[in-house]
């Protein structure tokens, strides 16, 4: 008769269920730093320097978590994205300069992402690169036009899962020296001649367009700007979303470097193209590994091209003090300009892997402008009210800005000398 005895029902913790409502924006942004540009930077790092540059993935991700968390606070506390706030609170010339350079960074991002998707189409179906680039841009544009944010979020989460699972399979096939990887994750080292690769890894992880994008899409979880309790709750849960999502990105980026180190560097293979990387994987790890590599690259390009378009639309619309809205003419122009310029640039690229790495270096060069803009806005009580940065957080952000700026100066010196 035990079935007559009432049993205590264990319900899910209400805090856990509430947290799930806030998850999503961080994963959406994560797509931006596991894009084809990251593939190029990470494969170049791993194939040329082994596990040595893994520390840069760790450092970049830590800086990214702090920056993305901070810029999301701007969107939560003010209801404005970074681009809108820049137009509203900066002198006109300063806002146009920073946002103009941000649009340039968005084009560089789109170059990497459309090119990566086109390369994957070429690997899988032998589609010529120019045709694949146009197809990639049109496909991403159609996705933005026909899908609401909530539907896109589900697509993106699914695609990130596929990419992560693909690299788990790849790593299971490789003979990884984990002791070297663990040491390299926490030991800074810049071998001679590696600075451009270090900068490309930084630009591939901490991406300017993602800072604009996060401040925009975090508002999909905004319910009541006038209610301090709602704002504070969202600020708390947003950090967990960012930490969880960026950690996934750290793991996938690390997996790319480790895979290249365990295969190409181990056997002394210098990789000049992503197609070469796929071809070489076949004899080293088997045909299945090469196919999974191309398939993951396709999903990476598809998802990141869409988010790059959203970021560009948000930046351009912000010039007119408007939020992202794909049905609005300014947002559509931002998306169109970015995709069209990116496809045009791709037509003149002779070495796709070099083009991808250079695009990431361009992002790192623009990055200080976006970071200093963000620090200025989020530290201002005029903009953020009582949610402005504390002195400690402002100091941390300035240290990050100094590191990024210092690396850029070192890169410029390295190029000129």
Structural domain includes residue 130: yes
Q: Out of 1-10, 361-370, 388-397, give the one with best mean pLDDT.
A: 388-397
Write out the E strands in 249-293: none
Query: Does 285 score more than 50 pLDDT?
Result: yes
Rounded-to-integer distance, Cα 63 and Cα 61, Å: 5
Query: Does 18 score more than 60 pLDDT?
Result: no
**For 208-215, what is the mean pLDDT?**
84
Query: Does 225 score more than 60 pLDDT?
Result: no
What is the per-residue pLDDT across 181-197, written as a single tens digit (0 to 9) for each? 999 998 888 888 888 78
**For 223-250, what is the mean pLDDT?**
73
**For 269-295, what is the mean pLDDT?**
66
Predicted local confidence at residue 31, as pLDDT? 67
Structural domain includes residue 139: yes
Structural domain includes residue 1: no
What is the per-residue pLDDT across 326-339, written as a single tens digit (0 to 9) for each? 889 999 999 999 99
Is 201 within 8 Å of 249 (Cβ atoms)?
no
More confident: 46 or 240: 46
Is 189 within 8 Å of 351 (Cβ atoms)?
no
Question: Does residue 60 sit in helix, strand or coil?
Answer: helix
Of 12-21, 230-239, 266-275, least confident by mean pLDDT is 12-21
Question: Does residue 245 sit in helix, strand or coil?
Answer: helix
Give me the CATH number covering residue 119: 1.20.1740.10
Predicted local confidence at residue 5, as pLDDT? 38
Check residue 350 and report its DSSP letter. Answer: S
Query: Does 16 score more than 50 pLDDT?
Result: no
Is 338 within 8 Å of 191 (Cβ atoms)?
no
Predicted local confidence at residue 99, as pLDDT? 93
Check residue 219 and report its DSSP letter. Answer: G
Predicted local confidence at residue 152, as pLDDT? 65
Is 293 within 8 Å of 277 (Cβ atoms)?
yes
Check residue 262 and report its DSSP letter. Answer: I
What is the per-residue pLDDT across 302-328, written as a single tens digit (0 to 9) for each? 777 888 888 899 999 999 999 888 889
Structural domain includes residue 8: no
Structural domain includes residue 233: yes
Rounded-to-integer distance, Cα 268 and Cα 181, Å: 18
Structural domain includes residue 13: no
What confidence tier does 274 reach under pLDDT thresholds 50, 70, 90?
Answer: low
Q: Which domain holds residue 169?
A: 20-416
Query: Does 165 score more than 50 pLDDT?
Result: yes
Its pTM stands at 0.78
Predicted local confidence at residue 171, as pLDDT? 75
More confident: 155 or 265: 265
Check residue 390 and report its DSSP letter. Answer: P
Query: Does 59 score more than 80 pLDDT?
Result: yes
Predicted local confidence at residue 7, as pLDDT? 37
Structural domain includes residue 225: yes
Mean pLDDT of the chain: 79
Predicted local confidence at residue 170, as pLDDT? 72
More confident: 145 or 293: 145
The sign one gets for the Cα dihedral 382, 388, 390, 393 is negative
> CA dist 291 to 121, 211, 294, 298, Å?
12, 33, 5, 11
Of 68-72, 84-88, 119-123, 164-168, least confident by mean pLDDT is 164-168
Q: How many domains does the chain have?
A: 1
**pLDDT above 90 coverage of the chain, percent:** 24
What is the per-residue pLDDT across 351-378, written as a single tens digit (0 to 9) for each? 776 776 677 677 777 888 999 999 999 9
More confident: 184 or 409: 184
**For 210-226, what is the mean pLDDT?**
71
Query: Does 87 score more than 50 pLDDT?
Result: yes
Structural domain includes residue 15: no
- The DSSP annotation for 94-113 comes to HHHHHHHHHHHHHHHHHHHH
């Amino acid at each position: 008769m035990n079935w007559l005895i009432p049993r205590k029902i264990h319900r899910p913790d209400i805090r856990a269920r509430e947290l799930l409502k806030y998850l999503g924006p961080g994963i959406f942004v994560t797509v931006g730093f596991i894009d084809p540009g990251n593939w190029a930077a990470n494969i170049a790092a791993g194939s040329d320097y082994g596990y040595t540059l893994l520390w840069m993935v760790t450092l970049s991700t830590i800086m990214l978590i702090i920056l993305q968390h901070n810029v999301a606070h701007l969107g939560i506390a003010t209801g404005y994205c970074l681009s809108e706030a820049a137009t509203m609170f900066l002198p006109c010339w300063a806002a146009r300069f920073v946002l103009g350079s941000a649009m340039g960074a968005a084009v560089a991002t789109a170059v990497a992402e459309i090119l990566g998707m086109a390369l994957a189409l070429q690997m899988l179906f032998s589609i010529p690169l120019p045709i694949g680039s146009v197809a990639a841009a049109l496909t991403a544009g159609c996705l933005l036009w026909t899908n609401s944010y909530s539907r896109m979020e589900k697509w993106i989460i699914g695609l990130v899962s596929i990419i992560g699972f693909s690299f788990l399979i790849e790593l299971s096939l490789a003979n990884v020296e984990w002791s070297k990887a663990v040491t390299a994750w926490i030991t800074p080292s810049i071998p001679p001649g590696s600075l451009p690769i270090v900068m490309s890894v930084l630009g591939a992880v901490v991406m300017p367009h993602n800072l604009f994008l996060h401040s925009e899409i975090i508002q999909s979880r905004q319910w009541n700007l006038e209610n301090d309790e709602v704002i504070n709750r969202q600020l708390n849960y947003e950090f967990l979303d960012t930490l969880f999502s960026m950690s996934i990105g750290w793991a996938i980026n690390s997996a790319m470097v480790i895979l290249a180190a365990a295969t190409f560097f181990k056997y002394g293979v210098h990789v000049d193209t992503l197609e070469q990387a796929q071809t070489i994987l076949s004899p080293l790890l088997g045909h299945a590994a090469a196919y999974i590599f191309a398939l993951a690259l396709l999903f990476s390009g598809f998802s990141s091209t869409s988010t790059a378009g959203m970021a560009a639309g948000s930046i351009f619309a912000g010039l007119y003090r408007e939020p992202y809205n794909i049905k609005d003419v300014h947002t559509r122009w931002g998306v169109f300009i970015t995709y069209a310029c990116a496809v045009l640039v791709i037509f003149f690229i002779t070495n796709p892997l070099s083009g991808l790495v250079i695009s990431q270096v361009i992002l790192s060069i623009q990055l200080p402008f976006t970071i200093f803009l963000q620090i200025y806005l989020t530290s201002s009580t005029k903009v953020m009210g009582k949610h402005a940065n504390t002195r400690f957080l402002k100091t941390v952000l300035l240290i990050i800005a100094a590191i990024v700026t210092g690396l850029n100066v070192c890169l410029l010196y390295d190029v000129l000398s």
